[in-house]
Every structure is written in C-alpha cells, then in structure tokens.
Amino acid sequence: MSAIGSYEAKTHLPQILKKVEKGERFTITRHGVPIAELVPVSAARRKTPEELIKEVHRLKKGLKLKGLSIKELINEGRRF
C-alpha cells in the first residue's frame, strides 16, 4: 500500500482512481499521519444498475418522514 499526501491525492485524484480500479491501494496522509485508506471496491460489494433500481423501489415503499411519503415530499417541493 502506497502512502500519499492529502494535497497530492486531491491534485491527482483522477490518476489515483485509475490505479485503484486496477487494484492498487493507497494510504492518504496529512502531515505524515495516516487519515484514510483508498482501496478498490470488491466485486462482491458492487451492485448492478438493476439491483440498485430494485433497492430504490424497495426503499421508497412505505418510507415516511414525519408522516409524509416520498411522493408527498416531492409534490410539496414542487409547489415552491
């Protein structure tokens, strides 16, 4: 696992992400102190677009916020 400073990580994020996609791991540091790890998402954790859509539909059914459904909240937001 390579160590990289937070400024360098911010500056070169697209290139770093390409390396992460290929399996490389990075420890992000601030003033030499490790603060985060950037690691590839395992294939087991990745969901297909179809799975994500099903999950959104499942979540919106019966979900209430202070007694309002998602649809009611959307319609309320459109009135403004």
- What residues does each domain of the chain span? 2-38, 49-78
pLDDT at 3: 95
The pLDDT value recorded for residue 43 is 60
Of 44, 1, 47, 5, which is closest to residue 20 (Cα–Cα)?
1
67 pLDDT more than 90: no
Cα separation, 37 vs 9, whole angstroms: 11
pLDDT tens column, 24-64: 999 999 999 999 999 998 765 778 899 999 988 887 776 66
Topology at the third CATH level for domain 2-38: YefM-like fold (3.40.1620)
- The string of DSSP codes covering 29-74 is EETTEEEEEE-PPPTTT---HHHHHHHHHHHHTT-EETTEEHHHHH
Cα–Cα dist 3/18, whole Å: 16
Give the pTM: 0.53
Per-residue pLDDT reduced to its tens digit, 68-80: 777 888 887 887 6
